[in-house]
A and B are shown apart, each in its own frame.
Chain A
Amino acid sequence: MAEPMRPSGMDHLEERLALLGQSIEWPAAPELAARVSARLAGAPAPIARRNGW
């Protein structure tokens, strides 16, 4: 049976890893940007900046 075509430079293990990456359950963090903004709005300025370092 003929070897299937693969993206250039990728062996079969690498190809499987790339496909696996699409199946990984990455957590979403939909509130992250809002939380960072809230922290920036409410938090005091960094010490280094306050002291002019």
Chain B
Amino acid sequence: MAYEELVRRHQDVAVRTAHLIAPDGDAEDACQEAFLKAHAALGRFRSGSPFRPWLLRIVANEARNRRRSAGRRTGLVLRAAEDRPSNDAAPSPESAVLAHESRTALLAAVNRLRDEDREVIGARYFLELSESETADALRIPRGTVKSRLSRALSRLRDTMAAAEPEGNLDG
């Protein structure tokens, strides 16, 4: 079935987008509903346009609705085994612990940000969406992505600084 193949091709980024916005437990349902809504709306999809941003807009909208009705937020978590050195040298146990603590602190700071800030940071750096895709998914003008991201990064720095007053903030 052609649509099932389309779902398969885009399901990872769709689930991650939903997970970024909807509370735990709601993301997958939001995603499923979004794919069904996208199927029902295929007649309104402009042929020749990229499918992914159009789909992500529907996914994000569905996820936002679920967050609104659930009245609670999402919280991203780290994988248990997350150390993936970029070269062949395995990190020492000490540096692995420090890297883990650093990532945990950064993720906690991201999770403390307000929804709008967390979403734009998540879309750009975690999902690696383009500015244009981010604009579509978050339903904001493309120019607003840049300004919102800049403010979000600034607030993230403030959040990190507040959490580590003696901090080693090199961002």
Contact = CB atoms under 8 A, between A and B. Distances in A.
A13 interface: yes
A37 B8 CA distance: 11
A40 B4 CA distance: 10
Interface stretch (B45-53, B62-70, B72-80, B134-142): B72-80
A36 to B, nearest CB: 5
Interface residues of B, number: 41
Interface in A1-39: 11-14, 16-29, 32-37, 39
Interface residues of A, number: 30
Contacts of A17: 106, 110, 121, 125-126
A52 interface: no
Given A20-B126, A25-B79, A40 B3 contact: yes
A23 B79 contact: yes
Contacts of B107: 20, 23-24
Given A20-B106, A23-B78, A36 B15 contact: no
A13 B153 contact: yes
Interface string B39-57: 1100000000000000000
A32 B125 contact: no
A36 B156 contact: no
16 contacts: A13-B153, A13-B156, A13-B171, A16-B171, A23-B78, A23-B103, A24-B77, A27-B27, A29-B11, A29-B28, A29-B31, A32-B7, A36-B4, A37-B3, A37-B4, A40-B39
Interface in B73-128: 76-80, 82, 84, 102-103, 106-107, 110, 121, 125-128
Interface of A: 11-14, 16-29, 32-37, 39-40, 43, 46, 48-49
Nearest to A32: B11
Contact of B153 (A14, A35, A36, A43): A14
Given A14-B153, A20-B107, A26-B16, A32 B1 contact: no
Contacts of B35: 32, 36
